[in-house]
Chain A
Amino acid sequence: DAKTTQPPSMDCAEGRAANLPCNHSTISGNEYVYWYRQIHSQGPQYIIHGLKNNETNEMASLIITEDRKSSTLILPHATLRDTAVYYCIVSFMNYGGSQGNLIFGKGTKLSVKP
C-alpha cells in the first residue's frame, strides 16, 4: 500500500500558484519524497524529489516539514498544461544510490482553470 495520503482533487486558477499537499507520517529516515505527474495518455513524468531540505528546480518547489511527516509541491505559476494527476511517493534509496520501488497511490487530480 502507498505510504502517502493526498486530496483526491484540487482546482487552481491559471497563473496562480498551485500548492499540492501530501502526508507521509510513517516515512523512514532513509526514504525520500518523490513527486511525479501523469498527464492524460502519457506515462508519469518525474518532477522533483527531496530527503529533508527544501528543493527547487525548473518545474517546481518541494517543501518538506521539519519532522518530514508532510510535504507540499508548489507549481509557482500554473498553466493549463499543468492539468494532471500528481503523485506523491516515498521511496528508499538503494545502496549505490539507485531509487527503490515506487508504490503509487491515487494521487491528486489538479485542474487548472482559465
Chain B
Amino acid sequence: SAVISQKPSRDICQRGTSLTIQCQVDSQVTMMFWYRQQPGQSLTLIATANQGSEATYESGFVIDKFPISRPNLTFSTLTVSNMSPEDSSIYLCSAGGGSNQPQHFGDGTRLSIL
C-alpha cells in the first residue's frame, strides 16, 4: 500500500496569511485527494487532484481559497489562502490508484489560525 507523507505536520498561522501543505506519495498514483476535518467532525472532501488536469472541487470549496497543484504522479500541494480562524482544521491528503486499490491517507496537517 502507498505511504503518504505530509508537511508540515502542524502549524500556527496569523490570519490573512497563506500556507501551502505538501503531500508526497512513495509510488506513482493516478488520483490524489484533499480533505478537511474540522474539530470534532468527520472528514469532508475538498477536491480531487489528477495529474495533468485541473483539480475538481466539491461544493462549498473554491479554487481561489484552496488552490491545488499536481505537478507529477507522486506529489501534490494544497494552499489555504487568506486564512481566518474558521480555517483551523486538520487537512489530510489521500492517494489511490487503479486496479481495485483503496485510498490511503497521510496523518494530516493540524492548522491553527490566530
The reply to whether A107 and B45 contact each other, CB–CB distance below 8 Å, is no
- Selected from A42, A43, A87, A97, the residue in CB contact (under 8 A) with B99 is A97
- Selected from B1, B35, B98, B106, the residue in CB contact (under 8 A) with A98 is B98
The reply to whether B42 and A101 contact each other, CB–CB distance below 8 Å, is no
Q: Is B107's CB within 8 Å of the partner chain A?
A: yes
Residues of B within 8 A of A87 (CB): 42
Which A23-56 residues have C-beta < 8 A from chain B? 34, 36, 41-46, 49
By secondary structure, the A interface counts as: loop
Q: How many residues of A contact B (CB 8 A)?
A: 23
Q: Is B48's CB within 8 Å of the partner chain A?
A: yes
CB distance from B8 to the nearest CB of A (A): 15
Apart from A43-B106, A104-B43, A104-B44, 18 more pairs, CB < 8 Å: A34-B102, A42-B107, A43-B108, A44-B43, A44-B105, A46-B1, A46-B104, A46-B105, A93-B100, A94-B98, A97-B98, A97-B99, A97-B101, A98-B96, A98-B97, A99-B102, A102-B45, A104-B35
By a beta-carbon cutoff of 8 Å, the part of chain A in contact with chain B is: 34, 36, 41-46, 49, 87, 93-94, 96-99, 101-107
